[in-house]
Every structure is written in structure tokens, then in C-alpha cells.
Amino acid sequence: MHARTRHPAGSGGPKKPHRWIAHVDLDAFYASCEQRDEPDYRGRPVVVGALPGGRGVVAAASYEAREFGIHSAMPTSEACRRCPDAVYLRPDMEKYRQVSREVFAVLAQITPLVEKASIDEAYLDVSGLEKLFGPPAAIGREIKNRIRAATALTASVGIGPNRLIAKLGSEHRKPDGLTVVEPDEVLQWLAPMPVTNLRGVGKQTRKRFDRLGISTVEELRDVAPTTLQKALGPKAAHSFSRQARGLASAEIVPDRARKSISKERTFDTDIDADRVLLDQLRELAAGVARVARREKLTGQVVTLKIRYAGFETHTRQQKLAMPTHDERVMLQTAWSLYANGDLPRKPVRLIGIGLSDWADDDTVQGDLFDEVEEQPADENLLRTIDRVTERFGTGKLQLGIRSKRDD
């Protein structure tokens, strides 16, 4: 895709400038850092994560290692089976943080509108930079060249009218890729794309798409909204329909940080049975915990939300001694706030649970790389539950507490 300047027929002048959003994604970041610093590793499969012989997982794999089917989150034992001659390295956490700081310093020189998505990726609003660097393709090349000059690493860049298209663009030609998608090219560009490329397509959604005979974005667009809602539910159907049409936010918020994770359930009829409330709270806590673990977050404040008839709403909070992403801790805390607090004892219309007050970045980063160590039994159990849920859906495997009031 190449950026072009067009003028509407009969306008007599240029059209109003539109937003340009860029997504920058460093290629195989951890493995590439190791290959950069050790010439003997270049051109060889490199696996960063747990060392062979442990029960940990792969944190990152070089593109040479990916040719053997090795990928992040794969057990290291399986990676060794596929490629015993690969270079296996423990993560050098401080090195990756330092390189990340260098990359973000480069991006800040291009535009102040930089939103960090992770240690190795970011969204940028590059609207209006044409006067400085040229068209969007030139802006993308400038970003890539500056990163390479500063760090000797490659990055893939996608540029489009919103965050979704930019993200899909950066994935389009990895590694070292550059893709620019004009606003009036979005639908055509998306049409042949596998529907699995869209955001939020897990194993269960993929199965539902298969049953509907949907394999491409174009086929997704052709499905009647009622059919899609029946298969996926209203919220997911709406999200995928928007994505299939290339619609998404173009907002870039520097230093954006998720302040909390919460989930709630509104009942069709008010509930006064503790067993039902506890079961629902258990499910909600599990959902919040899965998101927290996926985003490498641990929180110290648990919030309970209760709503009665007439929109009478109460919230209660408790600060934990240690940050957590364990649903059992969250559930125990929230249920104690409900059962032992001063809340009215009457039928409940809505119940919800939230987690906030994140641990600092260093702690979270430590948690991230602890995944590649041999984990305690509890941590392994939590990750097993996440994998089962991803594969078979919610409710198949859960942890929780049992209250005397639930007997």
C-alpha cells in the first residue's frame, strides 16, 4: 500500500487532512536484543525463557526459532523437542528495559503523541507530520531508520486511519515491515484477511466462525447481524462487525494506563439467595483475574459493587497486604465485604467486582519474567485454568471459596 494525495472532484483544492495512526512493533524483541549483543547467535534459533530441564515456558523466540514452530508461552520442554540445538537463554530484564527506554526516546523525538502498549510496542499519532517528513510511508521509514540507528534493531510499522488498521498493518509484513493503508483502501485491504487476525478471536470464537462458514473478513461482513448476534452475543457481534468494516478508535493518550479491571452482572430478577450471589461473584472474580494475568498486572485494592432496586448502589473497598491476580484472594475479600459489612440485606439487582492500585512497574515486570521460572503450584494452577478457559470457555474450571452461608 502506498500513501497517495487525492482531491475530491470539483473541490478545487485539497481535501481535509485525516488522522494517521502508526503502530510500531519491535521484531522478536528479546531474542533480537540477544542476537545484537552476541554475534555468534545471529542467524541461529534463539529462545529466551526458561532453560531446558525446567517446567517454565518460552518468553520469546527469534525468527529462526519460529521456523521450528517455537513461539511464546510454549513449554520449554516442547521447544527443546522441536529444536534441541537452539540457543536457550534466561531473560536479561534490565537490558530489555534499557533498550525499550532508548526506543521510546526515539519515538518521542518524532511526536509527543506516543502511547506505550507494552515494553516493545507503541501507538503514535503522526497526523500532520507530512510537512516534516513527507507522506505516511516516509514517516514510517523515518521511524524505522531512527530505531535502527539508535539500537541496531528492526521494527515493523503499520500506519492507517485508526488503531486497528495500524496494528494489523504492523503485523502484515513482519519482520522489518512497513504497511500504509489509506482510508479509502481499508475495506479492500481487509477483505481477504483471515478473520482470525481480528482482535479478540480466541479458540471458542474461531469455532463459532467455522460453524458459520466464516474464514475471511469479507465473509464476516456478509453475515446477517441477527445471525452473528445469535452465534456470538450482541457485544461481540457488534465489535467484530465494526472491525470488519475497519472502524476503531483513533485516540492516542500518552502515558495511558489502565486504572482498574472490573466486571459486573445485572440479574433479570433481583436475587436474595447467597448461593447464587457467591457463584456469580466467583465467575466475575475469575474473569477479572484472567485479564489481570494476561496484562501482567497485580492489584492491591478489591472493590465490591452492589446495586438494589431503584438504582440504589453501594461500593466497598479493601486494600490487601500484598498485590494479587489470584481470583481466590479477590473472591474471599469481596465476599467478606458483602457478608460481614454494613450493606442492606435485601434482594440484589447487580453485583460486581474490581481490582485496582497496581503494583509498580518493576514488580509487574518481575511477575512477567517469573513466568519463565519454575512456578509454585498455585501459580501453575492459575495458568492452567487460564489455558483451559481459553480453549473450552468460561465455567469449565474455577477456583473459589465456600462460605458457611452457602451451605
Contact 107, 66 (CB under 8 A): no
Q: Which residues are catalytic?
A: 121
Q: Which residues of 58-86 are buried (b: 16+ CB within 10 A; e: fewer)?
A: bbbbbbbbbebebebebebeebbeebeeb
Least confident of 239-253, 277-291, 324-338, 384-398: 384-398
Residue 277 has pLDDT above 80, yes or no: yes
- The segment(s) of the chain belonging to CATH 3.30.1490.100 are 260-406
Each residue's pLDDT tens digit, 334-364:
999 999 888 999 999 999 999 998 886 444 4
- pTM of the predicted protein model: 0.67
The pLDDT-based confidence of 73 (bands split at 50, 70, 90) is confident
- The segment(s) of the chain belonging to CATH 1.10.150.20 are 189-244
Residue 118 has pLDDT above 90, yes or no: no
Contact 34, 48 (CB under 8 A): yes
Supply 37's cell numbers. 549483543
Residue 55 has pLDDT above 80, yes or no: no
Contact 199, 186 (CB under 8 A): no
Span 304-316, average pLDDT: 91
Q: What is the 8-class DSSP label of residue 147?
A: H
Supply 71's cell numbers. 513461539
C-alpha span between 57 and 68 (Å, rounded): 16
Of the chain, the percentage scoring pLDDT greater than 90 comes to 69
Q: How many CB atoms lie within 10 A of CB 319?
A: 11
C-alpha span between 288 and 304 (Å, rounded): 12
Query: Was domain 189-244 assigned CATH 1.10.10.10?
Result: no
**Which region holds residue 27: left if phi is over 0, alpha if psi is between -120 and 50, else beta?**
beta
**Which region holds residue 124: left if phi is over 0, alpha if psi is between -120 and 50, else beta?**
beta
Contact 36, 171 (CB under 8 A): no
Supply 271's cell numbers. 436475587
- CB-based burial label for 398 (10 Å; 0-12, 13-18, 19+): middle
Q: What is the structure's pLDDT at 243?
A: 97
Q: What is the structure's pLDDT at 374?
A: 38
20-158 maps to which CATH number? Answer: 3.30.70.270
Each residue's pLDDT tens digit, 139-177:
999 999 999 999 999 999 999 999 999 999 999 999 999
Q: Which residues pair with 264 in a beta bridge?
A: 352
Radius of gyration of the chain from Cα atoms? 24
Contact 27, 156 (CB under 8 A): yes
C-alpha span between 255 and 70 (Å, rounded): 33
> Rounded to the nearest 10 degrees, what angle do helices 327-339 and 274-294 cross at?
140
Q: What is the structure's pLDDT at 370?
A: 42
Residue predicted with more confidence, 78 or 364: 78
Residue 265 has pLDDT above 80, yes or no: yes
DSSP class per residue in 268-283: EEEE--HHHHHHHHHH
Does an H or E element contain 79, and which? helix 76-82
The pLDDT-based confidence of 399 (bands split at 50, 70, 90) is low
Q: What is the structure's pLDDT at 259?
A: 81
* CATH number among 1.10.286.10, 3.30.70.260, 1.10.260.40, 3.30.1490.100, domain 260-406: 3.30.1490.100
- The segment(s) of the chain belonging to CATH 3.30.70.270 are 20-158
Residue predicted with more confidence, 342 or 370: 342
Q: How many CB atoms lie within 10 A of CB 189?
A: 19
C-alpha span between 10 and 45 (Å, rounded): 57
Q: What is the structure's pLDDT at 387?
A: 57
Q: What is the 8-class DSSP label of residue 185?
A: G
Contact 379, 399 (CB under 8 A): no
Each residue's pLDDT tens digit, 318-328:
999 899 999 99
The pLDDT-based confidence of 202 (bands split at 50, 70, 90) is confident
Span 99-105, average pLDDT: 96
Residue 230 has pLDDT above 70, yes or no: yes
Q: What is the pLDDT of the chain when averaged over all its residues?
A: 86
Q: What is the structure's pLDDT at 93?
A: 86
